[in-house]
Chain A
Amino acid sequence: MADILVVGEILEGDLRKNTLSAVRFAADAAGATGGAFDIIVVGDGADAAADTAAKYGARKVLKAQVDGGYVAENLAATIAKAAQDGGYKIVTATAGTTGKDLMPRVAAKLEAGVASDIASFEANGDELVYRRAMYAGNVFGFATVHTDVEVVTVRQTEFEAAEEAGSASPVEDAEVVADPAAERVEFVSLEMQKSERPDLTEADIVVSGGRALKSAENFDNVLVPLVDALGAAMGASRAACDAGYVPNDLQVGQTGKVVAPKLYIAVGISGAIQHLAGMKGSKTIVAINKDKEAPIAQVADYFLVADLFDAVPALTEEIKKLA
């Protein structure tokens, strides 16, 4: 029987939606082992985040308000104490940048091994085996964690967001524990890219642009109309981000965002291994590229060999006609 603690992420004063993938994993794993799952939220806005977290069927929700911007050292000790007090077997979070930053610190405090960015798991009684991507998604490894407590981060695109349970979990306070390391970190700022478009990791359709777009203006004038006609999220290759055509948080790839939408349209993207790692789980992949032999053809379902500056506006017009 494995009890599981989900570490929720707080963003802009409420529970970040990506937490619900970790909740899905926790509910599935608890079910498979005959255990229960709780959710803990620690940070600025813990009260509101706890109220949201309480909707998802947890046995209970723990909360601790910690003022100020995100600093892992301010949160890890509190989470580790709650994990120890509750005797949890597994402590989990979604593998966004917060989860990846914070959870290994929590793990080190708990002398727990870490299975990062898992795609799925199997339960053999109490023991879980985690399947995770390695070598830029070119190999999947089956990992076992041998410590008493296991820390697991989950790939958002592999665990569908948990649904509301229809009842409210009880909420209680968690004890805040200070960590001397926190005295040597100061939160300075968070510059967020605001967008009206869907989140890259949540959208049904993603349209990504590569270096072939040649400028930020072209992203705006050529790609954005297609993105918006489809109601899609916009992504980009590393090359396009490095060239400054778009902000870095649009990067799709091995070390950027991993996405798996119903439809992924790669415009002017050659398909480097590192890019493929971030999108080859998409259901349908379309490539628009002048080069018929571009490596993206290895994963594309449909390939339009064309100059993107002709093809994309034409495609945008056809899409608009469908609406």
Chain B
Amino acid sequence: MKILVPVKRVADPDNANKMKVSDDGTAVTSEGLEWKINPFDEYAVEAALRLNENGASGDSLGETTVVSLGTSDVVTTLRQPLAMGADRGVLIEAEDAQLDSALVAKALAKLVEKESPDLVLMGKQAVDGDSNTAGQMLAEYLGWPMATFAMSIAVDDDGKALVVGREVDTGVLTLKVTLPAVVTVDLRIVTPTAVQNGVTPADHGYNEGARYASLKGIMKAKKKPIDQLSLGDLGVEGSPSVTYSKFELPPARSGSVAYVEDVAELVQKLQTDAKVL
């Protein structure tokens, strides 16, 4: 099937506690932190590759296109999924200040109209903004069905539908969506048997997690096409509907850690000092 995977670059999530706020509070800076592909989008790339290949034979079953919004720096971010096995990339030129989740969704909707994919597969949230809205808004702008927080995907009805297991507060909610559809993915979509395309043997042992790009993949990626479009080319205009007037670091927890000698001291402190027992 033809799959479109939107990806976002974010400041190294494993060092999110090193984010800083400018002195006047109007900007967040990630100075010194490496840019990485948003982890959930990386899982979406992996899920797309699993859907579009026979995992045992390596045969390709469809085309996977990755798209990102940003300045030309973002081309580096696109090379990683291309190196993993995606077929082509699209860069939609935009400055961060021009965007919010709704505009990202509108731009993607316009791109979908041009590209006509069967499936848009993306991470459930970007770990910088943590908004968890773009995928849902995209589905609505397209008038498509959606399945969010996917932990499993199985192709059904001869490739016309997907059965998606969603992680919800109370357990697992399973939906069947007829393509074309939007699916946003959660952590466990990259467990070894979470993606079943009906072609790869059901017990095929994928590794846990997204695949590493091989050296060969990295070399091939340099030649894969990346189309560049502007927001204007897509007919997207308007300014963000959500803006941030200031930022602050969270209040530090008072005091420092008290190491206790043994269980008895812990219980005594929890009763007498913390008064929680």
Contact = CB atoms under 8 A, between A and B. Distances in A.
Contacts of B176: 185-186, 188
Interface string B7-51: 000010111110101000000100000000000100000000000
Contact of B259 (A96, A105, A305, A319): A305
Interface in B119-147: 124-125, 127-137, 139-141, 143-147
Contact of A138 (B17, B125, B253): B17
Contact of A187 (B125, B140, B175): B175
B167 interface: yes
Given A280-B253, A284-B276, A302-B270, A146 B171 contact: no
A311 interface: yes
A100 B13 CA distance: 22
B46 to A, nearest CB: 15
Contact of B170 (A133, A185, A249): A249
Contacts of A283: 274, 276
A286 B269 CA distance: 11
A129 B245 contact: yes
A37 B243 CA distance: 25
Interface string A75-91: 01000000000000000
B229 interface: no
Interface size class of A (residues with CB under 8 A): 35 or more
A221 to B, nearest CB: 18
Contact of B136 (A104, A117, A254): A104
Most buried by A among B134, B170, B253: B170
A69 B175 CA distance: 10
Nearest to B265: A304
Given A142-B247, A190-B170, A284-B276, A113 B100 contact: yes
Given A133-B130, A135-B130, A242-B188, A141 B170 contact: no
A249 B163 contact: no
A257 to B, nearest CB: 7
B242 interface: yes
A76 B141 CA distance: 13
B253 to A, nearest CB: 6
Contacts of A98: 168-169
A284 B257 CA distance: 11
Contact of A315 (B13, B147, B263): B263
B260 A302 contact: yes
B54 interface: no
B190 to A, nearest CB: 10
B265 to A, nearest CB: 8
Consensus secondary structure, chain A interface: mixed
A67 interface: no
B274 to A, nearest CB: 4
Contacts of A117: 130-132
A176 interface: no
B175 A304 contact: no
B202 interface: no
A303 B257 CA distance: 7
B127 A136 contact: yes
B91 interface: no
Given A142-B247, A263-B276, A303-B259, A249 B171 contact: yes
A304 B263 contact: yes
Given A115-B242, A319-B277, A255 B249 contact: no
Given A107-B102, A192-B171, 19 more contacts: A70-B173, A72-B136, A97-B166, A98-B169, A101-B149, A113-B242, A116-B133, A136-B130, A138-B250, A180-B143, A191-B171, A248-B151, A263-B276, A274-B13, A285-B253, A286-B266, A297-B257, A302-B260, A322-B277
10 contacts: A114-B242, A133-B250, A262-B276, A280-B253, A304-B259, A304-B263, A304-B266, A318-B263, A318-B267, A319-B277
Interface of A: 11, 18, 69-73, 76, 96-98, 100-105, 107-109, 112-117, 129, 132-147, 180-182, 184-193, 205, 238, 242, 247-249, 254-255, 257, 262-263, 273-274, 276, 280, 283-287, 292, 297-306, 311, 314-315, 318-319, 322
Interface of B: 11, 13-17, 19, 21, 28, 40, 100-102, 105, 124-125, 127-137, 139-141, 143-149, 151, 163, 166-178, 181, 186-188, 191, 208, 239-250, 253, 255, 257-260, 262-264, 266-267, 269-271, 274, 276-277
